[in-house]
Amino acid sequence: MTTNGRLAGKVAIVTGAANGIGQATARMFAREGAALGLLDKDAATLTAVADELKKGGTKVVAKAGDVTRKDDISGLVAEAVAQFGPVTVLVNNAGVTLTKPFVDTSSDDVDFLVGVNLKGLMYASQAVIPHMQKAGGGSIVHDASNAGIVGRPWQPMYGATKAGVVSLTKSMALSLAALNIRVNCICPGSIDTPMLRGALKASGDFDNNWRRTSMVIPLGRIGEADDIAAATLFLASDEAKYITGAVLPVDGGRTAGVAEVSHLTMDLPKS
C-alpha cells in the first residue's frame, strides 16, 4: 500500500479514525508507510477501516473507545507501542460540533464540547508524549477549525473550544520543543464529512445551505477530507521538521478576508 513512504518507520495514533477526516488521514498515512493505532466510538466502521488497511499490508491496531475516557486512549497507545514500537506521530482528530445560539447554550453543551475537543486532546497527548520523548522526538497535529480563528454567531461555544485548541497548540509547541516534539494544528474550513452534512441538514434546507456555504469560500467549493489529510501528512512528516507552533487554515481562503458572515441567512443569487 505504501507509495512514497513519507511516514515509513513511524507509528501514528489517529483519533476519530472511523469517518470523515480521520478516516482519510488513516488511509493516507497507511499509503505512506506508517503503522497505525486507531480510535473511534463507531466500532463497526472502525473495524471495517482497520480490516481494509490490514489487507493492504498496513500494521494496524484499532480500539473502539472514547477520547474523553483516559483509559481508552492510554490503552490504545500501550497496545500500539507493544506491537509496533514507540509512537512518534499523534493526530488529535476526534471532535464534536454544536450549532446553537449562545443564549440557549447549556452547561451540558459546554461540558460535551470541552470534554471531546479539549479534554480528549489533552488525554491523547499526555499518553504519547513519554513515548515520543524516549524515541527522541515526534509530531503532534491537532485538528482545530477556522471557527477557532474567526467568530461564528451560530456556533459560539464550538468556536471557543477550537480557539482553545489554537492557543494550546502554541503553548505545547513551546513547552515540548526541548524534547524535539513538534506541535502544530490544522484549522479546517467546511469539509464534506458526515459532521458537516449533519449540521447543514439540521439548519433547514440542505441544498440551499450547501450552496450558501460554498458561496463564502474564495475557491468556490466545499473541501474534501483528503485536503485536510494531505496537510496533516505534511506536518506529521520529516518534511516539516522545522515547523512547530503553526496554525494552518485549510479552508479554501475563507478566513483570509472578510467573507466570514452568517451565510445560512444569505440571499442566494438569482438563477
Asked about 158 being catalytic, the answer comes back as: yes
Choice among 13, 158, 172, 244 that is catalytic = 158
Amino acid of residue 170: K
With residues binned 3-state (H G I as helix, E B as strand, rest as coil), the percentages for the chain, rounded to 5, are 50, 15, 35
DSSP string, 72-105: HHHHHHHHHHHHH----EEEE---------GGG-
Contact 153, 104 (CB under 8 A): no
**Count of residues in the chain:** 271
CA–CA dist 64, 44 (Å, integer): 9
Q: How far apart are CA 165 and CA 187, in angstroms?
A: 10
Contacting residues for 131 by C-beta, under 8 A, at least 6 apart: 77, 81, 86, 87, 88, 138
Closest by CA position to 87, among listed 106, 111, 61, 55: 61
Q: Which residues are catalytic?
A: 158
